Amino acid sequence: MRVAGKQVIKQFLGQIPFTAELYWLLRQGGKPIQTRFTLKHLQTELPELVTQAAELRKQAAPGKKVFVFATLHYWIEHATLLGVSLAAQGHNVTLGYLPYAEWREQINRFDLRRQNAYARKVLSGAEPLVEAVSFLPARPSVVRLPEDVMEAVRLVSNYDTQYTLQVEEIDTKSEIYNLRLERNTEIARNVYTYLKANRPDVVIVPNGTIQELGVVYRVARYLGITTTTYEFGDQRQRIWLAQNAEVMRQETDKLWAAHNGHKLSDEQLERMRSLFMARQRGALWENFARRWQDTPAQGGQQVRAELGLDDRPLVLLATNVLGDSLTLGRQVFSASMAEWISRTVQYFAGRPEIQLVIRVHPGEVLTHGLSMADVVRQVLPRLPEHIRLIGPKEKVNTYDLVEAADLGLVYTTTVGMEMAMYGVPVIVSGETHYRGRGFTHDPDSWVSYFKLLGAILVKPEVYRLTREQVESAWEYAYHFFFNYPRPFPWHLVRVWEDYRSRPLGTVLSEEGLSQYGATFRSLLGEPVDWKTILQAQE
């Protein structure tokens, strides 16, 4: 009762102007109110960062009007570093932010305003180079949004619910959906009003698919503003970026078109082999920050023996982690990934002459939502002897299964691309970046999916990839791993460690700009010149 009463008081005080801000200033001495929303690293580095940027800016020509948006403390810190670095290059930068510590939990207005006061204090240290604008309004906006924008808000709220609960089917009456709908609607109204009144040359926003980040991206595109989205993968000193598109879609059309059938050099091929072998062995490699397997490879024949598999044709179905940003909205002909798996398992239940191995993504050990193993068991509570389910915790190397497979089935996982590199025929059922590149089978309906599946299973060996297709898969993989991520000095993870290794003055020096300058220009909307990038490697 005491806790509930305290929350009621905070809700009441949160509606009274200046109460939260004065309380924060007097009782907390300008410090963060909780450890989950702290900008302490930014606060420490900002004075020297701004000093360097101000000096560099004196030599820079006037640039673009740039709006950068972020929410959650880690994105705010990174976006501030990015914004200051752009200001140092002569651009007029505004940083829009929301002071949320969590996207999935309610917070009373009193505490939220205290977090806002704290963030405003820290970010004021970037002035006058970067203008920080809070998008936490003093009172709810009553702006009426166009229906297209509201439809985008509902779509992002769906994604947020799927992402948070790690489910595909959502309840629009659920608490999390309505929390996300409320917050997404609020930022849509506020950023719609702001961008119409203060139209920038370019909007830069992380991710661009989920949460308020996804809403800001969609509002900016609705208004016809050039918008860049960015994210980070496994590689240090690399960034994914997309122009007028969601970066998590990993669109590689222009990159692949610029490739234009050019063969890899011996050096490039050896580098790709080295990476591929590291992925197989579960070893760290170059600037990649994680291992892809926990169990060393033993070979296809060994894994067949250990799993009790015989000489019947073997189909490997590799799943994704449910709710991952790389699976949201990727349906082609199925209503969801779970439906695709369910109907596929039903199909193989009646094909005892074929062995099906379902490899549940090892990343599920870190999740709490519906497991793809549960989806399989809902269809077949007791698995027949020709269907084998490999759980996320089982010590089985996925690449051993790839080596043993006669056919691969995937939704969007990168394993599909890697199976093609082995020469294994692959059916891709979701909208993924390597779909339609010439080395996979890409059905667009249930009819074509099952027809193709049946044809391949008659004689899988006939559908083994040709030498040219395998070479194409290797070429595509090389460009996806080594060219699609662009050089960038500061990864989101360990950003300040990166910054201390590569401070602003070093990054914006003549030598630094020779490495990172093109990426900064691409973030500002300049198209990536893939043709020149690839020609330089020949």
Indicate where the chain has its CATH 3.40.50.2000 domain(s).
262-482
Q: pLDDT at position 76, please?
A: 98
State the virtual CA torsion across 83, 253, 534, 415 in degrees, nearest 10: 90
- What integer pLDDT is reported at residue 305 of this predicted model? 87
Contact of 168 with 158, CB cutoff 8 Å = no
Residue 44 has pLDDT above 80, yes or no: yes
Rounded Cα–Cα distance for residues 398 and 360 (Å): 10
User: Residues 366, 323: contact at Cβ < 8 Å?
Assistant: no
Backbone angles phi, psi at 95, to 5 degrees: -105, 110
What backbone phi and psi angles, to 5 degrees, belong to 229? Answer: -110, 150
Predicted confidence band at 290 (pLDDT cuts at 50, 70, 90)? very low
Under 8 Å between Cβ of 170 and 193: no
pLDDT on residue 298:
65
Cα angle 456, 457, 463 (rounded to 5 degrees) comes to 35
Residue 97: is it exposed, middle or buried by C-beta count within 10 angstroms (0-12/13-18/19+)? buried
The 10s digit of each residue's pLDDT in 116-175 is: 999 999 999 999 999 999 999 877 778 899 999 999 999 999 999 999 998 888 999 999
What is the Cα–Cα distance from 10 to 23, expressed in whole angstroms? Answer: 11
Percentage with pLDDT > 70 across the chain: 89
Verify cis geometry, omega within 30 degrees of 0, for the bond prior to 128. yes
- Residue 14, pLDDT score: 47
Confirm or reject CATH 3.40.190.150 for domain 262-482, answering yes or no: no
Average pLDDT over residues 271-295: 61
| Per-residue confidence (pLDDT) for residue 8, from 0 to 100 | 47
pLDDT surpassing 50 at residue 3: no
**pLDDT higher than 90, residue 275:** no
pLDDT at 282 over 90: no
pTM of the model: 0.90
Pairing relationship of beta strands 238-243 and 486-487 according to DSSP bridges: antiparallel
Helices and strands: H and E segment counts in the chain: 21, 12
Q: Any idea which residue has 């996979």 for tokens?
A: 440
Q: What three-state secondary structure class fits 485?
A: coil
Q: Which two tokens stand for residue 136?
A: 């936490």
pLDDT of residue 16: 53
* pLDDT higher than 90, residue 369: no
